Structure 1
Amino acid sequence: MLAVATVGFAVTFWAWALLSPLGATLREQLHLSSFQQSLLVAVPVVVGSLGRIPVGALTDRLGARRMFPVMALLTVLPVLYLGHFATSLTGYLVGGFFLGLGGTTFAIGVPFVNSWYPPARRGLALGIFGIGMGGTAISSFTTVQLAKTVGPSFPFDLVAVVLAGYAVAAWLLLRDRPDRPVAAGTMWSRLRATLRLPATLQLSFLYAVAFGGFVAFSVYEPTYLVSAYHLDKADAAMRTAGFVVLAVAMRPVGGWLSDRFDPISVLLAAFGATALLAVLAAFQLALVPVGTLAFLGMAAALGAGTGAVFALVARMVPAERVGAVTGVVGAAGGLGGFFPPLVMGLVYGLTGSYLIGFLLLAATAASAAAVSATVVRRRAATVR
């Protein structure tokens, strides 16, 4: 069940991230400004993030066996539209809006995996499931190269076929745990109850910083490397894929460390390292080796932090509300990835530098470390 859910997460995230590697190419083709380019690649992020709220609540009621195939099939439509019919900024924004459906499956997989594992192993299990966010790495590695060598629509056709195949496999293979708790009440009443949980807002902030930072870099780093270091677009996409792969690999490590030690300690280390490395990156030192080490260090820290946050979700949230809480927390994480690319594009357009953007990241990470050490630590202690 964990393997099938992880594959589904990866496939739908691959679709969700299709526009990001093409950002620089679309900017040239459509004559976009820096802000318009940032908006184009950010729209699927915000839609996929907000969509996790209802999708998580529906998963608590309907189960993953129904939700995974449905969301995979629905994502096929915008993928094909973007590959064959979008020709303008408006067209790509409309397609990107519906492409956001692919980003909602995180809220399906977390309650599903959580139900199959005992509390002592949930941190690692959810971390392994989180490897599925490596679908963004698949997109970074393949989209530009396939578009160049085969044709501009081929990456979209390939993803559409894979999504359809996964929908069939998920319907045949996935099984919800028979004794899983099923949430009572309407979706809206459960959402209101979820938002009243103190843990929901606290964990949402932490995930907005950890996962939001990961999403922001995976979306905007190709543009940043081309603008700041004048790299070839294919080279920038490959380096971004390396950032994503390391962050993905560190997510189960963060979950495992949280099971073995304490999620709060993992978060303090992750956010502290992110703050320090963001300050280092702000000065745009030589890409080799200092800049590369700074970005890879942030990838490792943010990846471990995402694993630690959901280890806390498994500890602090009642089982029948994990889907709804995951939807809200996951939405916060995606929204955390929506704003930084817009800010970076706007700051660069106004100042010609990324210094202010990285300093804002450092301040935000430091704030997350402070919240982890105080408010969240006290809340976690009350539910043990």
Structure 2
Amino acid sequence: MNNENKLALTVATIAFAANFSVWTLYIVLGIHLEPLLNLSATQYAILVSSPIMTGALLRWPAGFLCEYFSSRNLFIIQMMLTIPPLLLLNYAQTFNDYLMVGFLIGISGVSFTLGIEYVSQWFNRSQQGMAMGIFGAGNAGAAITLLIAPMLIDEFGLKYIGPIFSLGMILILLLFIFLAPRKSIKINSYKQPLAFYLSPLKSMTIWRFSLYYYFVFGSFLALLLWLPLYYVNAYGLSPKEAMSWTLVFALSSSLVRALGGWYADQYGGRTVNWWVFWICIICLFFLSYPPTTMVIHGVERDVHLNIKVNLTVFNVLIVIIGLAQGFGRASVYKMIHDYYPEKMGSAGGTVAMLGGIGGFTLPVIFGLGVDLLGVYSASFMLLYGVVAACMITMYLAFKADKYERRMQSALKNEFLKKIQDSKL
């Protein structure tokens, strides 16, 4: 990497981390607002996932805009539009107020699609996994929120959290404007028609990648939003302790993404993802089991069995899942670039949108599951089903690709003609 490439990657990663910290701000706000607004589990899930919904849905059109306009300039515009909603937080009082502001803050989630297109322009194919892995480590912005926001709320109260974060966003915006390189090594002499960028949508491949990203990124977001309340309700931790353990999950999952990108470059994105799914499904099997008390009627006395995943085991399993998801997020985008190197905006935006949709649909389903079943581990039961669907889909894709390669080899070697000639 030359100096200009490094500068583009560094500045874009810092900007993405800042935007991600804003996008996940409701993780901290939600745990404080839940008792103040007397929210049910479903209402809590809807509130904390409101920024995620807007950011996810806007990723798709943002990806297509990147194909026709400068991703650098679009990145700047997106950050400018993020600042006013942060200032509006100062005036929110009711559930509906916070919900509407959350929808507006969600534009910060578009930063990933814009940044991934900007970064991909500066690196060749053999470096894409590593570069996008480093950029994706900007997910650590969630750790910034989990670390700083609780301290700011304790010191200044909820009223000033929005203005303080808006000041930080202004500083990052100025940093990006003055330091982000304008000229990339990717040269497009002309823009393709819209149909060219829409063509990946006709392929099942892009939808398979979207399903994988729904789990590795969507469930990562969902767990970020859900874990603080889960720790409080399932294990009786204080909000501060819950935030600390969620911070461990967020930080470990985010920082390992760069390593995941390197592994994807070395061994292939598909291989990395396959092992990611295996690791996650094993961990989720244990997390899905609800606390259970059984009575075994023995010959002389009853034997009472209490089965429960204690806090230490839970933390180990959830961190392992987070690490695996970090690898998976990098490997999915490595595969996207391998298949669609000239359509990273549109193809990457589509996958990012559907992955982000997991970030707001899964917490709501978690909340419904808890309210309806009355079991906190219902959220992990659902994730077990999602990763199982990913594994089945990938296995069928393995078989289909193997069959297609064999057919192509047979046609190339005129296999049928040779059989016919041998009969004659």
- TM-score class normalised by the smaller sequence: over 0.9
Q: Do the aligned partners of 2:56 and 2:355 also contact (CA within 8 Å) in 1?
A: yes
Contact preservation (8 Å) 1:70, 1:167: no
**Which residue type is aligned with residue 395 of structure 2?**
A
Q: Hey, what does 1:370 align to over in structure 2?
A: 392
> CA shift at 1:310, angstroms?
0.6
Give the partner amino acid of 2:361: F
2:346 to 304, 312, 324: 324
- SS of 1:19's equivalent? helix
- The alpha-carbon deviation at position 344 of structure 1 amounts to 1.4
Q: Deviations over 1:124-170 (max 9, x none)?
A: 11000001111111111121221012332333222101211222222
1:110 aligns with: 116
Q: Provide closer, same or farther for how the CA distance between residues 246 and 213 of structure 1 changes in structure 2, counting only shifts above 3 A.
A: same
Equivalent residues, number: 379
Q: Would the aligned equivalents of 1:56 and 1:327 in 2 still touch at CA under 8 Å?
A: yes
Counterpart among 295, 300, 303 of residue 318 in structure 2: 295
**Which residue among 331, 347, 350 is the counterpart of 1:308?**
331
TM-score under structure 2 length normalisation: 0.85
Q: Which amino acid in 1 is paired with 2:362?
A: P
The answer to whether structure 1 residue 219 and structure 2 residue 241 are counterparts is no
Cα deviation digits, residues 69-110 of structure 1 (max 9, x gap):
11111001111111x111111111110111110001110111
1:350 correspondence with 2:372: yes
Residue 16 of structure 2 corresponds to which residue in structure 1? 9
User: Within 5 A, what are the aligned runs for 1:1-384?
Assistant: 1-82=8-89, 84-174=90-180, 175-177=182-184, 179-181=186-188, 184=191, 189=195, 192-283=198-289, 285-319=308-342, 321-375=343-397
Which aligned runs of 4 or more in structure 1 are off by greater than 4 angstroms? 376-382
Query: CA separation of 1:328/1:28 partners in 2, compared to 1, >3 Å: closer, same or farther?
Result: same
- Alignment RMSD (CA, Å): 1.9
Listed one character per residue, the Cα deviations across residues 10-31 of structure 1 (whole Å, up to 9, x for unaligned) are 0111111111112121111112
Q: 1:275 to 1:92 in 2, by over 3 A?
A: same
**Which moved further from structure 2: 163-172 or 91-100?**
163-172
Tell whether the 8 Å contact from 2:122 to 2:186 is kept in structure 1 after alignment: no
C-alpha distance in 1, partners of 2:311/2:50?
32
Deviation of residue 186 (structure 1)?
6.4
Q: 1:183, CA displacement in angstroms? A: 7.0
**Superposition deviation, residue 377 in structure 1:** 7.7
Q: Aligned equivalents of 1:48 and 1:183: distance in 2?
A: 29
Q: More deviation in 304-313 or 166-175?
A: 166-175
* Deviation (angstroms), 1:314: 1.2
> Secondary structure, in 3 states, of the residue corresponding to 1:252?
helix
The Cα shift of 1:246 comes to: 0.8
Work out whether residues 208 and 336 of structure 1, in 8 Å CA contact, stay in contact via their aligned partners in 2: yes
Q: 1:376 & 1:35 partners in 2: Cα distance?
A: 38
Q: TM-score, normalised by structure 1?
A: 0.93
Cα 1:158/1:269, change in 2 over 3 Å: same
Q: Distance in 1 between matches of 2:149 and 2:310?
A: 24
Q: 1:128·1:252 contact (CA, 8 Å) conserved in 2?
A: yes
5+ unaligned residues in a row in structure 2: which ranges? 1-7, 291-307, 406-424
Residue identity opposite 2:175 in structure 1: A
Determine the C-alpha separation between the residues in 2 that align with 1:177 and 1:378: 37
DSSP 3-state at the match of 2:113: helix
The worse-fitting range, judged by mean Cα deviation, of 155-164 and 351-360 is 351-360
CA contact (8 A) 1:60 1:182 kept: no
